Amino acid sequence: MRRFINKVLFILLILPVSVNALNKIDRIEFQGNRSFNDKKLKSAIGYNRKVKYVFDDVSILKERIIDYYKRKGYLDADITVDFKKAKNKNIVLFIIDEKKLYKIISIEIKGNYILDKRRILKLSGLKINSPLDVDILRSSELNIGKEYSNLGYLYANIFTKINLIDDSNGNASLNILIDEGNKVLIRSIDINNPGKINLNVIERELEIIEGDECSYKNLIKSQSNIFETGLFRDVRFDIKGIKEKSDSVDIVFYLSPAKTHWIFGGIGYETPDIMAVRAEWGFNNLFNMNNWIQIHGRYAYSFHSGYIYEGRIFYLNPYFIIKKISFKIIGDLYNKNYINYIENRKYAEMSIGKQWVNNNFVSLNINFQIATYDSVIYGERISLNKYHTNSAYIDFNRDCTDNFIFPTNGYRYYTKLQYSGGILHGDNNLYKGYISFSLIKKYNNFILFFKNQIGIIKVFGASISRDISYDQKFTLGGPYNLRGYEQNSIGFRDPYGNIGGNALFCSNIGISSPDLYNVSISTFADIGNLVDSVENMFSSVVYWNPGLGIRYNTPIGPIRLDWAYPMHSPDSKWGRVYLSIGTIY
């Protein structure tokens, strides 16, 4: 009896598992899908191989496929389901009869008085003879409604009526019906919780005024402007009266003040053989007018060469004379004390410019620099040379990537044109041009990247190409350009032992794997050269290196460990390894 009871209990125990195994779907397949491939359909219905589906889910998947086809213009699409078994696998086959694709043969717009028909058609994105895509129709309604809200018509209602013409061609006509409603005006603007921040600083960032139309675009822009001051950690707004559909509303901005000063310090290792200490103090509300001031210092010790110390003071007024034109003053001190060589630079710069989000900017700059080079022989310091360089330059930076710290798609470029000496006087008379361009593309979670840099220096007047001071020359080699070579090791050597050049080109190309726990692997190749003149750019050896790298993503940017093998460096048998922060592109 006990044996019989044990058998019954065992059967009852495994029965649900057995039934579930028989009921499980191992794979789905499609037949008759001429317009969309299997991968597209699986993505459209949200099919995930990691999810365990059973036969009860078939009707849900079928409805999703039909809905997708109808949204894409196949209004008469029909689907039947077949079940089959192969190698003990349960397979569900969706047999699709797409039938005809409905197309738009006419578009009529009614009820528009503020926007003309041409503008509405452009906003809708709809075209004659295009497929009747319901997703595009919904998107067109949103785009038209958004444009009306940007003009102050917050209650505008847009509806698209579809008229099917019953013939074998599958034609359809559209009626875009618009109820514009009344224009909404701003009755009052209130700033909630500004803290100790000057109200004038906040109000100058607003793109709206009392009595004007309530433009949703200008509200968003005002919110963004206030946040970009760096004085608040959160900025929100509310439109009082919109629920009641009032013709005049009250705007309230809710602010959460942030800390306006900071102090930073750290110690770390820098390639190739340097231990460095850094410190920084900053305040972004000087004079209670959102003026910035930063003081930065760095001391670095090289185990083989000597030490370097540098300091910088930075002042920024974001509103100089007129709105959004900034004024900057920078003062720099740089001193390199190596065993047999001392370099000292003092630098002052003033600039005016305009800056946008994500480090997009254009600026006009004037700077003055003094550079001295001394030699140390048997402990005695001997003065070698002293250069005064007075320059004016314009630079422009454009970042069109999806994330300026961790870009995966887009492009960015930087351009600088410099004039030194001449009417500005000084020891260096030169024209200097530089441009860098980066292209980043994500494909199947792999990131492909390409970067190219070109720089040219042309001397004029009494200056000689090889006598240009080292601080004005380009450098090449190291973790941010040619990774197979020692830092700043490519070019020609000046009388003081510094290596640089007047004509630069460098290209980097590579691919990074998908992230796994914030870690990815990259393969790359770098190629470039740095010579004394453009004429010698390709007549000498072109340096290049293949390489491998590991990236670990952190909040401040990826930490890169790169190994590269130089193809023109006999003194480096095993290649070079660099540890650095940030992308090369």
Domain assignment present for residue 390? The answer is yes
pLDDT of residue 22: 54
- CA distances 261 to 227, 283, 330, 574, Å, are 16, 4, 19, 46
pLDDT of residue 15: 37
**Cis amide leading into 479 (omega within 30):** no
CB 229 within 8 A of CB 290: yes
pLDDT at 143 over 70: yes
Tally of CA atoms within 13 A in the half-sphere of 338 that contains its CB: 16
Domain assignment present for residue 10? The answer is no
pLDDT of residue 356: 76
pLDDT of residue 274: 85
- CA distances 213 to 90, 208, 243, Å, are 62, 8, 17
Q: Which of 232, 257, 282 is the last residue of a domain?
A: 257
**What pLDDT band is residue 16 in, cutting at 50, 70 and 90?**
very low
The rounded distance, in Å, linking the Cα atoms of 362 and 380 is 46
Domain assignment present for residue 222? The answer is yes
Beta bridge partners of residue 293, listed in sequence order:
283, 315
pLDDT at 477 over 50: yes
Domain shared by 124 and 51, yes or no: no
Closest CA to 34 of 84, 67, 74: 74
pLDDT at 454 over 60: yes
Instruction: Burial-class residue 490 by CB neighbours within 10 Å (0-12, 13-18, 19+).
Output: buried
**DSSP reduced 3-state for 394:** strand
**DSSP reduced 3-state for 44:** helix
Domain assignment present for residue 154? The answer is yes
How does 61-93 read in b/e, with b if 16+ C-beta sit within 10 Å? bbeebbebbebbbbbebebeeeeeeeeeebebe
- Cα dihedral sign, 199-203-209-214: negative
pLDDT of residue 464: 84
**What pLDDT band is residue 2 in, cutting at 50, 70 and 90?**
low
Instruction: Burial-class residue 415 by CB neighbours within 10 Å (0-12, 13-18, 19+).
Output: middle
Domain assignment present for residue 276? The answer is no
Domain shared by 60 and 171, yes or no: no
Residue found under tokens 């290792």: 269
Number of structural domains, the chain? 4
Domain shared by 133 and 87, yes or no: no
How does 507-527 read in b/e, with b if 16+ C-beta sit within 10 Å? bbbbebeeeeeeebebebbbb
Domain shared by 464 and 529, yes or no: yes
pLDDT at 555 over 90: no
Domain shared by 175 and 223, yes or no: no
Domain assignment present for residue 287? The answer is no
The rounded distance, in Å, linking the Cα atoms of 177 and 162 is 11
- Cα dihedral sign, 63-68-74-79: negative
Domain assignment present for residue 37? The answer is yes
* Greater pLDDT, 404 or 210: 210
* Greater pLDDT, 12 or 434: 434
Token pair of 522, please?
A: 């990259």
Domain shared by 442 and 496, yes or no: yes
CATH of the domain at 568: 2.40.160.50
Give the pTM.
0.76
Domain shared by 525 and 448, yes or no: yes
The rounded distance, in Å, linking the Cα atoms of 25 and 55 is 6
The rounded distance, in Å, linking the Cα atoms of 509 and 440 is 10
pLDDT of residue 393: 97
pLDDT at 145 over 90: yes
Q: Measured in whole angstroms, how far is the alpha carbon of residue 141 from the centre of its chain?
A: 29
Token pair of 19, please?
A: 């039934």
* Greater pLDDT, 339 or 132: 132
Q: Which of 209, 241, 257 is the last residue of a domain?
A: 257
Average pLDDT over residues 3-27: 54
At 79-90, the pLDDT tens digits run 999 988 888 888
Q: Measured in whole angstroms, how far is the alpha carbon of residue 173 from the centre of its chain?
A: 41
pLDDT at 520 over 80: yes
Q: Report the range out of 221-230, 379-388, 415-424, 558-567 with the highest average pLDDT.
A: 415-424
* Greater pLDDT, 569 or 277: 277
Domain shared by 173 and 230, yes or no: no
pLDDT of residue 20: 46
At 341-398, the pLDDT tens digits run 888 999 999 999 988 766 788 999 999 999 998 877 666 777 778 899 999 999 999 9
Which residues, other chains included, contact 126 with Cβ-Cβ below 8 Å and sequence gap of 6+?
104, 107, 136, 137, 140, 174
The rounded distance, in Å, linking the Cα atoms of 526 and 72 is 46
pLDDT at 488 over 60: yes
Q: Which of 179, 212, 233 is the last residue of a domain?
A: 179
The rounded distance, in Å, linking the Cα atoms of 338 and 308 is 8
> Could you tell me the residue range of the domain that residue 146 belongs to?
103-179
Which residues, other chains included, contact 331 with Cβ-Cβ below 8 Å and sequence gap of 6+?
312, 313, 347, 348, 349
Domain shared by 126 and 170, yes or no: yes
Domain shared by 466 and 333, yes or no: yes
Cβ atoms within 10 Å, residue 459: 20
Domain assignment present for residue 303? The answer is no
Cβ atoms within 10 Å, residue 288: 12
* Greater pLDDT, 454 or 444: 454
Q: Where are the alpha helices (DSSP H) in 417-567?
A: none
CATH of the domain at 142: 3.10.20.310
CB 292 within 8 A of CB 278: no
The rounded distance, in Å, linking the Cα atoms of 308 and 302 is 8
The rounded distance, in Å, linking the Cα atoms of 447 and 407 is 9
At 74-117, the pLDDT tens digits run 988 999 999 888 888 888 999 999 998 999 999 999 999 999 99
Q: How far apart are the first and last CA of the chain?
A: 77
What residue type is 386 in one-letter code?
A: K
Domain shared by 151 and 29, yes or no: no
Q: Report the range out of 130-134, 180-184, 356-360, 569-573 with the highest average pLDDT.
A: 180-184
The rounded distance, in Å, linking the Cα atoms of 17 and 238 is 54
Domain shared by 79 and 166, yes or no: no
pLDDT of residue 367: 95
- CA distances 208 to 152, 226, 243, 298, 543, Å, are 11, 13, 20, 44, 56
Instruction: Burial-class residue 398 by CB neighbours within 10 Å (0-12, 13-18, 19+).
Output: middle
